[in-house]
């Protein structure tokens, strides 16, 4: 198996199919999902593909730069509050963080694939992924002009009242407000530590362990040498199913692995 050729094929499939899961790519390439996940980790490190924050069945989606809008078709995998925040942001285009209810504010921080945070006058705002920085200025500028106009009217009224009592004094021109955008860099997500239920572990120990086939033992040996075996799901004479963890620059990544003896 030529690694370079395989990685190029993966990129071509994602380019054609859009955001994809490792198991879908494994079927397209007719190779083990274990190897596909390893190739995907390398491609992500090389910045050739991107990884979604959104999970489908516990696995992220892999996509190319410019395919962010295609992640919308996976919005049904968001939880109810995240979906509500997604719809609100998509409709409004820009949201002021301080004006949202606490649950929506939390959800906006969770849907990193669709919500981008930025600051204006030390206040946090959120823009939809498809709204550019130039669009942000066009949307927020009218708000600034309206506020400035209100301030001008208030000052003018106060000036008239003062004129009745004292000679009018020329006031220095008030500098125009400038829109300054400060993009908040998304913090690198901390590696997720797989949760292990102590009760489940205790119950598993009580189960009678059936002997493993020679094929299963070979697969386990290969995984222990190259990856980290997290959990055994199922094993038969010519089939082995487990969860494996791979160390990457992005942190540990868990993936479901199925090996078959053909």
Q: Which position has the higher pLDDT, 183 or 102?
A: 102
Residues 42-60 have a mean pLDDT of 94
Q: Quick check: 94 and 125 in contact, CB under 8 A? A: yes
Question: What pLDDT band is residue 231 in, cutting at 50, 70 and 90?
Answer: confident
Q: Distance between CA 108 and CA 97 in Å, rounded?
A: 9
For the chain, domain boundaries: 1-70, 75-133, 190-262
Model pLDDT, residue 125:
94
Question: What pLDDT band is residue 147 in, cutting at 50, 70 and 90?
Answer: low
pLDDT over 70 percentage in the chain? 73
Exposure string of 210-227, with b = 16+ CB inside 10 Å and e = fewer, is: eebbebbeebbeebeeeb
Model pLDDT, residue 39:
95
What burial class does residue 253 get, using C-beta atoms within 10 Å of its C-beta: 0-12 exposed, 13-18 middle, 19+ buried? buried
Q: Could you tell me which residues are beta bridge partners of residue 231?
A: 243
Q: Quick check: 18 and 67 in contact, CB under 8 A? A: yes
Pick the CATH number of 75-133 from 1.10.10, 1.25.40, 3.30.2030, 1.20.140: 1.10.10
Name the one residue in this structure whose structure tokens are 């079927």. Answer: 27
In CATH, what number does 1-70 get? 1.10.10.10
Q: Quick check: 3 and 39 in contact, CB under 8 A? A: yes
Name the one residue in this structure whose structure tokens are 């390893």. Answer: 38
pLDDT over 90 percentage in the chain? 45
Model pLDDT, residue 143:
52
Residues 246-251 have a mean pLDDT of 75
Its pTM stands at 0.53
Question: What pLDDT band is residue 255 in, cutting at 50, 70 and 90?
Answer: confident
Residues 51-66 have a mean pLDDT of 94
The number of beta carbons lying within 10 Å of the beta carbon of residue 146 is 10
Model pLDDT, residue 5:
93
Domain pair 1-70 / 75-133, same fold: yes
């Amino acid at each position: 198996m030529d690694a370079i050729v395989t990685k190029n094929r993966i990129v071509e499939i994602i380019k054609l199919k859009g955001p994809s899961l490792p198991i879908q790519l494994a079927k397209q390439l007719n190779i083990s999902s274990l190897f596909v996940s390893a190739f995907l980790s390398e491609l992500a490190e090389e910045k050739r593909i991107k990884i979604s924050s959104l999970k489908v069945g516990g696995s992220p989606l892999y996509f190319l730069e410019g395919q962010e809008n295609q992640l919308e078709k996976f919005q049904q995998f968001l939880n109810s509050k995240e979906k509500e925040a997604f719809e609100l942001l998509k409709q409004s285009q820009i949201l002021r963080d301080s004006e949202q209810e606490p649950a929506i504010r939390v959800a906006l921080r969770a849907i990193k694939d669709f919500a981008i945070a930025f600051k204006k006058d030390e206040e946090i705002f959120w823009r939809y992924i498809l709204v550019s920085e130039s669009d942000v200025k066009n949307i927020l500028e009218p708000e600034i002009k309206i506020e400035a106009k209100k301030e001008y009217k208030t000052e003018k009224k106060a000036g008239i009242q003062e004129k009745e009592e004292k000679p009018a004094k020329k006031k220095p021109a008030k500098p125009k407000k400038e829109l300054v955008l400060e993009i908040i860099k998304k913090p690198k997500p901390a590696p997720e530590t797989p949760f292990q239920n102590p009760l489940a572990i205790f119950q598993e120990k009580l189960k009678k362990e059936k002997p493993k086939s020679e094929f299963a033992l070979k697969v386990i040996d290969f995984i222990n040498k190259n990856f980290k075996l997290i959990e055994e799901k199922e094993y038969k004479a010519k089939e082995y199913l487990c969860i494996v963890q791979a160390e990457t620059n992005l942190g540990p990544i868990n993936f479901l692995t199925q090996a078959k003896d053909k």
